[in-house]
Structure 1
Amino acid sequence: MAPTSILFYKDVGHSQEGAQEVVSLFGDKGVFDGPKPVRLLERLITLANLKEDSIVLDFFSGSATTAHAVMKKNAEKAKHSRFIMVQLPEEVSDKKKDQGYKNICEIGKERIRRAGAKIKADSPLTTQHLDTGFRVLKLDSSNMKEVFYSPKETAQQDLFALVDNVKDDRTSEDLLFQVMLELGATLDSKIEESEVDGKTIFNVADGYLVACFDQEVSDEVVTAIAKMQPTYAVLRDTSLVDDATATNFEQIFKTYAPNTTTKIL
């Protein structure tokens, strides 16, 4: 749809309307300065003529008005468009910190939660299947120590201090998302968790990727992963409980999942 050269406030709202919308969501608190009105973003979305499963990307998310507008449009038009909000973690004023938000990202996340809940509360009969969930990811350095990328530069006397390739402060979820990126799984893929022998197994995209990053993984866990016959199976280099399990690892996959590609971090 060709846009007109001027967007009148009677059609798309104004800055005061945007501020009032935020206040109504946060309970009479001015947590964000200069938010765009939802009607403006709805108009831009209409001009873009979104398809059933379009993705709307906002590199300057701010208070996440764009996400609010996408969810509202989905509710009104029964669509399944998705959003990607990108925002630097800019610090907010001391007054806003006192309200519990240390940076703009925190405000945006809370607005999406509250806006989604309000959209569902306003139209409970037509929004039963409306997906207002979202996943929060932060950019960081690699999860792996330098030795993982440049083993030739590591001296022999340093090897005992580098038994594990993974940085000490990284979680299993950190490793999972790194592996998802490396192996081509989209970051919005469905992730299911299960437990075998006390260890957490992640199943991404219905068996595209299965991973376990816990320590002391036994033959039972390895066998359970192999029986799922994933496209990719990933474990940590230090995961296997003993040498016998490490020796059996390849044979277990040859027996139960010969077409699975295995990867060790």
Structure 2
Amino acid sequence: MKLNAEDGGHRKFIMVQLPEKTDEKSEAYKAGYKNICEIGKERIRRAGRKIKEDAGLTAPADLDIGFRCLRLDESNMKPVYYTPEEISQQDMFSLVDNVKSDRTPEDLLFQVMLDLGVLLSSPIEVKEIAGKKVFNVADGFLLACFDHDVTEETVKAIAQMKPYYAVFRDSSMANDSVATNFDQIFETYSPETVRKVL
């Protein structure tokens, strides 16, 4: 960040830290930092502010001192590898949505970005399209909507933006009509778009 402030560069970096717990008797723990990772995030914030402050008016207008904090976890998707004798008819209701219940739309977005090879450092803008939250990644390269009750209006608006990738949740579609017309909408407005449904 300091070099970027000095020469207007756009260097990026990756840091890795295990969430090692802090000692309950330490000053860091008393200050609210329950693990080393939390201390690291605060250090980066403070360093960024200081670099920007020290550079003052000479700092490039687009100096990026922000960061994303990601954590490794297991898949966002429920395991669906069952044999007939392992499942009963009643169990079928738990398979209506294939995404684990504790996952956020951001969790799904980053999994999709990894799956599609989209850089995790890509710019992400959140837009509202026809009343639904849509992630616009890398200036329209990837558009993703994981809200529920997605209507044809939302699908059409996204298709008209002609993204390279368009991603939705399988359980997102408001009704069978939207699910049935999904591909036809894209064929009409953006046939080149690669469509993916989680």
1:255 shift after superposition: 0.3
Report what 2:51 is aligned to: 119
Could you tell me whether the CA contact under 8 Å between 1:120 and 1:128 is conserved in 2?
no
Report what 1:46 is aligned to: none
Report what 2:181 is aligned to: 248
Report what 1:146 is aligned to: 79
- 1:98 is aligned, of 23, 30, 45, to 30
1:59-103 per-position Cα deviation (integer Å, ceiling 9, x unaligned)? xxxxxxxxxxxx122223332211110010001112221111111
- Aligned AA for 1:78? G
Report what 2:9 is aligned to: 79
1:127 shift after superposition: 1.1
1:261 shift after superposition: 1.3
Q: Which stretches of structure 1, 4 residues or more, deviate above 4 A after TM superposition?
A: 151-154
Is 2:145 the partner of 1:215? no
- Aligned AA for 1:107? I
Is 2:158 the partner of 1:225? yes
- Gapped runs of 5+ residues in structure 1? 1-70
Aligned residues: 193
Give the aligned CA root-mean-square deviation in angstroms.
1.5
Report what 2:196 is aligned to: 263
CA distance in 1, matches of 2:194, 2:159: 10
1:153-182 per-position Cα deviation (integer Å, ceiling 9, x unaligned)? 763623222100000000000000000000
1:152 shift after superposition: 5.6
CA distance in 1, matches of 2:126, 2:195: 19
Report what 1:173 is aligned to: 106
- Aligned AA for 1:204? V
- 2:87 is aligned, of 141, 149, 155, to 155
Could you tell me whether the CA contact under 8 Å between 1:90 and 1:105 is conserved in 2?
yes
Larger RCO, structure (CA 8 Å, separation 6 or more): 2
CA distance in 1, matches of 2:112, 2:88: 28
CA distance in 2, matches of 1:213, 1:221: 12
1:110 shift after superposition: 0.6
- After alignment, is 243-252 or 161-170 more displaced? 243-252
- Could you state the TM-score of these two structures normalised by the residue count of structure 1? 0.70
- Gapped runs of 5+ residues in structure 2? none
Is 2:41 the partner of 1:109? yes
Could you tell me whether the CA contact under 8 Å between 1:217 and 1:240 is conserved in 2?
yes
Report what 1:194 is aligned to: 127
Could you tell me whether the CA contact under 8 Å between 1:101 and 1:107 is conserved in 2?
yes
